[in-house]
Structure 1
Amino acid sequence: MLASLRRCPTSLPRAFAAGRVAARSTAFVNLTTRTSTRPSLPHRAFHSAPRLSQVQAAAAAQPNVQTQRITKFEDLATHGLVHPNIIRAVTEDMKLETMTEVQSATINQALRGDDVIAQARTGTGKTLGFLLPTLQAILNKNPELENHSVARGNTYGRNNQLNVRGIIISPTRELAEQIAVEAKKVVYHTGIKVQTAVGGMGKPQSLRRIHMQGCHLLVATPGRLIDLLTDPSANIAAPNLDVFCLDEADRLLETGFYEDILEIKKNLPPQSQKDRQTLMFSATIPKTVKTMVRSLLKPDFHFVQTIRADEAPTHMRVPQKVVEASSYKNVILSLVELIQREVQNSTPERPFKAMIFMNTTKQVPLFADVLSNLQMMTTSSPEFKRLHVGQIQSGMDQRQRTRAADDFRHCKTGILVSSDVTARGMDFPNVTHVIQFGTPRSRDDYVHRIGRTGRAGKEGQAWLLIPQFDSNEALDKLGEFPIKLDTSLKTPTEDLRNPSPETSELLTIVSNAFKQVDLWVKKDAYRIMVTSNVQGKRPATKQKVVNEVNDAAMAVMGLHELPGFSQRAITAGGLGSLNGITAETPRQGFGSSDGARGGFGSGESRGGFGSGGSRGGFGSGESRGGFGSGGFRGGFGSSDRSRSGGGFGSRGGFGSSDRSGSGGGFGSRGGFGSSDRRGGFGSGARRGFN
């Protein structure tokens, strides 16, 4: 699977004899761990590097040489491996008794202090697999923290230099918050303090909390951690760091993230001066992991594989269906029809709970608002009205995102419209459906999205809704997966110029729901629908994309005229030669910079003295009034939009909005199934999915 790792043992049998590899079939705990010495490997064993796939294969064939398998959490305390106060929280408070396979396979090795890289299916309890060893390592060095009554003020010195003993890095804010919540449950009966450092929350408030309460375990996203470690005024360092853990390691290797990890490493004490343990966990182990393994893990690391070669991963076990729609309008209607049908077919024992993934942030508030508006219509079924509808996207601040995640996590039936910020590692129980609107950007995005359903042995299903112009791209990216063409919906292939009475009624209902959405939300979504869908396509297909999105914008989304594009967007997207693309109208008035919207404009102009993205002034028509800035929408403007308006309207006054919640002021707010077509998900002699 992986290219060679220079510092891995060259002699696999010798490496196994030294106990450096743990496999799925040898998930046993050596009860003499604490008194045994760690075997050493001769230096010559590291001259050349085997592949991790070879390690996995050889480890699976290695006979069991250990004597007792620990599968119960309470046994970790009984045998003195983990402090009873930690196990008490796990067994009594969290009501967990039996370890999952990844937990029993990794905890022993990690408790020995070994570096570990572990691969396990999503939803199998990886978080506890690295939390228990990390927290026990903290207690080993700080036994005064074993009891809950420890004085928090004694955890750092007068200069507020915190005693950070463990750092866990997560690629997303949501996952970091989820890990921190889990960690706080586990440390409840101890004196260990867990803190988070993520973007989207005020840095001064976070620092104040950390310095007031102390911090032994810091759960962070890469960018915010770098910010804290490199800012002298933050006064955050980790000279006593014992454990460095990376969750979703494959994602942390993506563009930009790996450079962040190296920057973080530069700001940690050198391992030659302060030895530390490194743990890496991931659901997938791509080839690029070798780079991080070589730069972060010790040569005698353990590779834990809990996925059998004959075991189907989640993304192969979950039933997957693709709906190919005749046009972009049909895709929108298909989404609503699918939700309505699946809600109607749900049962009290298995209520409908779905995650809808959009490829861009701007589409999330649009479709979340549409679904909320549909709930308020008299034509909606009682089951549809009872759905909890929420959204998560990067334009929301962290408090909003955390609240939305918690609401969806605890609801019995609902819909979460999201961008990919929730696609990895997030644990939302009982998700029955994952619906993807449009072809995902990559194969890995598709895999991780599907991983939100079918978790922990539960049933689930995945749907992919695409227009015909995305057929070839979808097949090229996803041709290896067991995706079946679905023709059970009525709207995907119906001619909307002459629709049936049922489809005509649905079209009217959906159009009315769009009309109630904020105009600027629709305009922003329209622009990104065009630019994201033309990427990588040939000129003729680009023109088809523009024609279909324009048609949907006017006929379904309720735009009376098509928004213009900035010159930068036209150039970057290669839109200049396409019909139906117009440039933005120059802004009038006193605004400054490229994004300024100034003056006492009319029509679509945005008045006032705003700068950057601000929208100020005494505009009229579709303008936004007031002296707002950034996302603020203020003032005395007027509007013919049903949800907008200046002054004291739904988006008026001096309020702010990230377009996910209420406004400000005093208001409220070609290819998958025909016979001889090339490259579809259909049938016949052509390649593709049947």
Structure 2
Amino acid sequence: MAGPEAMQEAGQPYSSLKGKLNDGLLAGIESMGYGYMTPVQQKVLTELPDFSADCLVQAKTGTGKTLAFLLPAIHSLLASGSIPKGQVAILVLSPTRELALQIAKECNAVTAKLPRRLECHTAYGGTSKERDLKAFLNGDPKVVVATPGRLNDYLNDDYVAEKFADIRTLVLDEADQMLEQGFLVALNDILRRLPQKSKANWQGMCFSATMPKKIEGVLPKVLNKGHIHLTTVDPDETPTIDKVTQHSIIVQSNQEVYPTLWELLQTEYSNCSGDFKAIVFGTTANGVALMYALFSALLEESNTLKVFQLQSRLSQANRTRTTNEFKAAKAGIMFASDVIGRGMDFPNVSHVVQIGLPSSGDQYVHRVGRTARAGNEGRAIIILTQRESFFLKVNKRLPITPYPTTLPSATGETPNPDIEAAFANVDETTKSKAYQAWLGFHKTFTKQLQLTNDTLVQEANLYAASMGCPEPPMIDKKIVGKMGLKGVKGLNVGHVEHGGPPRRPPGGGNGGSGKSPAEGRIEKRGGGGGRGGRGGRRGRGGQSAS
């Protein structure tokens, strides 16, 4: 989708396509307020020899790629005549649900002025499969925008697969990200279930910001040998990430992570000359839910900054609402998992903070890419434990320097009563899920972290202690077995009922902790709104009460 940064790089006017592009589509573009093509749109719409030609297009995110593939595909469909009712003509594959929703929204807008309605359906996880499939089978889905996992699930039904027998165009959007997220098997399964390209001769369009080797194995199945290769990526251009000021903070252990994050947010907010709009990335969905609960408790009485969360365990309706709210917000803090790591355009993000170990250098880069857009400046800070700091050595190419300000919380020498009080307001279920997710995530990195199963559990229990847990949260014995941690000392193993409280083994006890409300506010230097949280860097504010 074309964000503000894309529209700043205006090219030829869309009116120059009069007589070449369908009049109804041109009217739709005009109603959307787009007068000029972005570079990638101009490249595709003026340099393709035919709108139905196969193409490989390299362009960065946020440059208007959505219209660059929708317009040629829909124009070709309209020009080729009708296809049977209920048959899919255009299939767009997207790596995330949020991006799929954006594409569908853009499709509905650009086709709004056509004489006859062109139905666009979506297929992605997190929604009722039965309801969505019923709408798909009863409708006339000429365009389908889907994530690979859910579509592959659909195509297991031969009756559903028959609906793709007359496919005209297949689009892979964010192809590199799709493969990075492990969709290669699902993608190959989908291609096997679609009509064979050599016989059906459908159009293939592949859009990607980078060209990793994994893509080479997919391209021959999607594109003809003589496909057109277009790029808007200047090899001499300074990458966006190099335009972002990037710092790292190394803390001694997991016990210092949240106090350091709280102190960092106060410091950065205080020093921010404009609106403070930050995305804080966590390693797991349940870890993000914990941070959201924690910092909501710290900031709930403050009108200074609104706190958001976006992670895969939220309902799709909740995620869509939050996405729209954060897009519209001038300021705020979004705690997020990688459902928004790439392909999502949130305007005017001033800061990106990463908590914990990114799964790869590429993931780090994709996250940082959420800031410094549309020519704006941006800052990125990553907080790692001493064990996780190997990430900086492995990724020396990244322009990350030590954070210039000393934060007492990072050393663990200064207790933070704000965090301790706020954790008392976080329910035990949220803590338990975060603890289990922490174990599962770090179990996959034990070699890099130089952890044995015993020391992994010891680190996890320190993490639990940092949340104010009187003892390690209980984990179901089946989960322990799946993690390969059966028999490891230090785990609190029991039977956890689905949707209910854990059942403790005989003799087990778990002391409760009283809850006390906590308030916290972030104060800007120079008298910006809000009062400082108790124990904060500047100002006095709310007091904890029991």
User: Any idea what the Cα deviations from partners look like across 1:137-156, whole Å, max 9, x if unmatched?
Assistant: 1211247xxxxxxxxxxx86
Secondary structure of the equivalent of 2:358?
A: coil
Secondary structure of the equivalent of 1:425?
A: coil
Q: Shift of the alpha carbon at 1:640?
A: 6.5
Give 1:521's match in structure 2, choosing from 430, 444, 461.
430
Give 2:385's match in structure 1, choosing from 467, 470, 494.
467
Q: Shift of the alpha carbon at 1:120?
A: 1.4
CA distance in 2, matches of 1:164, 1:333: 52
CA distance in 2, matches of 1:604, 1:295: 61
**Highest CA radius of gyration, 1 or 2?**
1
Alpha carbons of 1:509 and 1:236: their partners in 2 closer, same or farther (altered >3 Å)?
farther
Alpha carbons of 1:523 and 1:488: their partners in 2 closer, same or farther (altered >3 Å)?
same
Q: Shift of the alpha carbon at 1:200?
A: 1.2
Gaps of 5+ in 1: 1-68, 144-154, 606-619, 623-638, 644-690
Query: Does structure 2 conserve the Cα–Cα contact (< 8 Å) formed by 1:322 and 1:485?
Result: yes
Q: Which residue of 2 aligns with 1:183?
A: 107
333-342 vs 231-240, which moves further: 231-240
Secondary structure of the equivalent of 1:445?
A: helix
Pairs within 5 Å for 1:354-365 = 354-365=278-289
Q: Shift of the alpha carbon at 1:109?
A: 4.2
Q: Which residue of 1 aligns with 2:41?
A: 103
Secondary structure of the equivalent of 1:250?
A: helix
CA distance in 1, matches of 2:428, 2:23: 57
Give 2:462's match in structure 1, choosing from 551, 572, 577.
551
Return the letter of the residue paired with 1:96: Y
CA distance in 2, matches of 1:283, 1:185: 25
Q: Which residue of 2 aligns with 1:488?
A: 405
Secondary structure of the equivalent of 2:42?
A: helix
Give 2:123's match in structure 1, choosing from 184, 197, 221.
197
CA distance in 2, matches of 1:415, 1:603: 44
Query: Does structure 1 conserve the Cα–Cα contact (< 8 Å) formed by 2:461 and 2:472?
Result: yes
Gaps of 5+ in 2: 1-9, 517-546
Return the letter of the residue paired with 2:408: T
Q: Which residue of 2 aligns with 1:479?
A: 396
Return the letter of the residue paired with 1:309: P
CA distance in 2, matches of 1:210, 1:279: 23
Q: Does residue 245 in structure 1 map to residue 156 in structure 2?
A: no
Judging by fraction of residues, say which structure has more helix: 2
Q: Which residue of 1 aligns with 2:316?
A: 398
Query: Does structure 2 conserve the Cα–Cα contact (< 8 Å) formed by 1:121 and 1:314?
Result: no
CA distance in 2, matches of 1:128, 1:474: 38
Secondary structure of the equivalent of 1:132?
A: helix
Give 1:425's match in structure 2, choosing from 336, 339, 343.
343
Alpha carbons of 1:203 and 1:263: their partners in 2 closer, same or farther (altered >3 Å)?
same
Q: Which residue of 1 aligns with 2:15?
A: 74
Q: Shift of the alpha carbon at 1:641?
A: 6.5
Q: Which residue of 2 aligns with 1:132?
A: 71
Q: Shift of the alpha carbon at 1:352?
A: 1.2
User: Any idea what the Cα deviations from partners look like across 1:205-236, whole Å, max 9, x if unmatched?
Assistant: 22343355522111011122223333246586
Return the letter of the residue paired with 2:423: F
Alpha carbons of 1:440 and 1:599: their partners in 2 closer, same or farther (altered >3 Å)?
closer
CA distance in 1, matches of 2:11, 2:322: 37
Pairs within 5 Å for 1:117-156 = 117-142=56-81
User: Any idea what the Cα deviations from partners look like across 1:2-41, whole Å, max 9, x if unmatched?
Assistant: xxxxxxxxxxxxxxxxxxxxxxxxxxxxxxxxxxxxxxxx
CA distance in 1, matches of 2:321, 2:333: 14
CA distance in 2, matches of 1:370, 1:599: 23
Query: Does structure 1 conserve the Cα–Cα contact (< 8 Å) formed by 2:494 and 2:504?
Result: no
Aligned residues: 502
Q: Which residue of 2 aligns with 1:441?
A: 359
Q: Shift of the alpha carbon at 1:247?
A: 0.5
Q: Which residue of 2 aligns with 1:584?
A: 493
Q: Which residue of 1 aligns with 2:332?
A: 414
Query: Does structure 2 conserve the Cα–Cα contact (< 8 Å) formed by 1:355 and 1:417?
Result: yes
TM-score, length basis structure 2: 0.83
Q: Shift of the alpha carbon at 1:583?
A: 4.2
Query: Does structure 2 conserve the Cα–Cα contact (< 8 Å) formed by 1:621 and 1:640?
Result: no
Return the letter of the residue paired with 1:562: P
CA distance in 2, matches of 1:319, 1:480: 14
Alpha carbons of 1:603 and 1:171: their partners in 2 closer, same or farther (altered >3 Å)?
farther
- RMSD between aligned alpha carbons? 3.1
Query: Does structure 1 conserve the Cα–Cα contact (< 8 Å) formed by 2:352 and 2:379?
Result: yes
Alpha carbons of 1:163 and 1:141: their partners in 2 closer, same or farther (altered >3 Å)?
farther
Q: Shift of the alpha carbon at 1:387?
A: 2.3
CA distance in 1, matches of 2:393, 2:472: 31
Secondary structure of the equivalent of 1:114?
A: coil
Q: Which residue of 1 aligns with 2:4?
A: none
User: Any idea what the Cα deviations from partners look like across 1:41-93, whole Å, max 9, x if unmatched?
Assistant: xxxxxxxxxxxxxxxxxxxxxxxxxxxx97222212x2x221222222223x3
Alpha carbons of 1:211 and 1:552: their partners in 2 closer, same or farther (altered >3 Å)?
closer
Secondary structure of the equivalent of 1:537?
A: helix
CA distance in 2, matches of 1:207, 1:286: 34
Secondary structure of the equivalent of 2:309?
A: strand
Bigger RCO of structures 1 and 2 (CA < 8 A, at least 6 apart) = 2
Alpha carbons of 1:544 and 1:271: their partners in 2 closer, same or farther (altered >3 Å)?
closer
Q: Which residue of 2 aligns with 1:207?
A: 133
Return the letter of the residue paired with 2:280: I
Q: Shift of the alpha carbon at 1:196?
A: 0.8
